[in-house]
């Protein structure tokens, strides 16, 4: 029995006990995942999906998270002072072992669905409701902050004025003592 599954934008033909590398999945080593996007199942009877086979699934065991070999790309630049003429990239992969292929009843299993490690889908309907609630909270918080900032700024201004006044007094005292000393020196010379 075999199946064609789709994950990470690619399609893989798999059989039981196959070990394959796929694009990074959100799972750690030892976790069991299930691929519900099965395009075709084969064996005694072939089922072709439109686009997916309903109720079919492929269960797999995550063995390890890997990085592929480094792919080096050279960039031709006309100027000598230009930086980075060579770039490298290592794609993140997940090593999995296919444990079971299910023709029916895949949605009834309690195994977590295989989810891509990057570029998750966003349900905008749920996020809009959350955004409206968070916006209300943020507005309330900003109003509180503004009132606190006004209180802080007025008290801070008062403190600065006090410090300036005390600094001015100290400077005046030092100026007076300097002038007294210079007057005394002149009087002593005369």
Instruction: Please report, in angstroms and rounded to a whole number, the separation of the first and last CA atoms in the chain.
Output: 120
Burial of 168 (0-12, 13-18, 19+ CB in 10 A): exposed
> Does residue 10 lie within any of the structural domains?
yes
14 and 103, same domain (yes or no): yes
27 and 111, same domain (yes or no): yes
CA distances from 90 to 33, 66, 70, 116, 190 (A): 24, 10, 5, 17, 89
Q: What is the pTM of this model?
A: 0.57
**pLDDT tens for each residue of the chain, 190 residues long:** 999 999 988 999 999 999 999 999 988 888 999 999 999 999 888 999 998 999 999 999 999 888 899 999 887 777 776 666 778 888 999 999 999 999 888 888 888 888 887 654 444 455 455 556 666 666 666 666 666 666 656 665 676 666 666 665 666 667 667 777 777 877 787 6
- Can you give the residue range of the structural domain that contains 136? 122-190
Q: What is residue 189's predicted lDDT score, i.e. its pLDDT?
A: 75
Task: Give bridge partners of residue 13 from the DSSP assignment.
Answer: 4
Evaluate whether 39 touches 51 at the Cβ level (below 8 Å): yes
Task: Give bridge partners of residue 78 from the DSSP assignment.
Answer: none
Q: What is residue 121's predicted lDDT score, i.e. its pLDDT?
A: 45
107 and 17, same domain (yes or no): yes
145 and 165, same domain (yes or no): yes
145 and 170, same domain (yes or no): yes
115 and 170, same domain (yes or no): no
26 and 94, same domain (yes or no): yes
Burial of 57 (0-12, 13-18, 19+ CB in 10 A): buried
- Domains: count for the chain: 2
> Does residue 77 lie within any of the structural domains?
no
- Per DSSP, the residues of 44-111 read SS-EE-SSS-TT-EEEEEEEEEEE-PPEEEE---S-TT---SEEEE--EEEEEEEEEEESS-GGGS-P
Q: What is the distance, to the nearest Å, from the Cα of residue 139 to the centroid of all Cα atoms in its chain?
A: 25
> Does residue 78 lie within any of the structural domains?
no
> Does residue 76 lie within any of the structural domains?
no
101 and 147, same domain (yes or no): no
């Amino acid at each position: 029995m075999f199946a064609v599954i789709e994950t990470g934008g690619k399609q893989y033909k798999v059989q039981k006990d196959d070990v394959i590398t796929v694009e990074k999945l959100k799972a750690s080593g030892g976790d069991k995942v299930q691929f519900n996007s099965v395009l075709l199942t084969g064996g005694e009877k072939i089922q072709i999906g439109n686009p997916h086979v309903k109720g079919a699934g492929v269960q797999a065991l995550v063995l390890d998270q890997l990085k592929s070999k480094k792919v080096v790309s050279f960039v031709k630049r006309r100027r000598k002072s230009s930086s980075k003429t060579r770039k490298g990239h290592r794609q993140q992969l997940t090593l999995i072992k296919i444990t079971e292929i299910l023709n029916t009843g895949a949605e009834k299993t309690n195994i977590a669905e295989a989810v891509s490690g990057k570029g998750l889908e966003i349900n905008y309907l749920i996020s809009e409701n959350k955004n409206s609630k968070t916006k209300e909270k943020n507005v309330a918080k900003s109003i509180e902050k503004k009132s606190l900032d006004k209180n802080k700024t007025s008290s801070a201004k008062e403190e600065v004025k006090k410090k300036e006044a005390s600094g001015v007094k100290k400077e005046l005292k030092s100026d007076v003592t300097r002038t007294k000393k210079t007057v005394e020196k002149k009087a002593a010379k005369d």
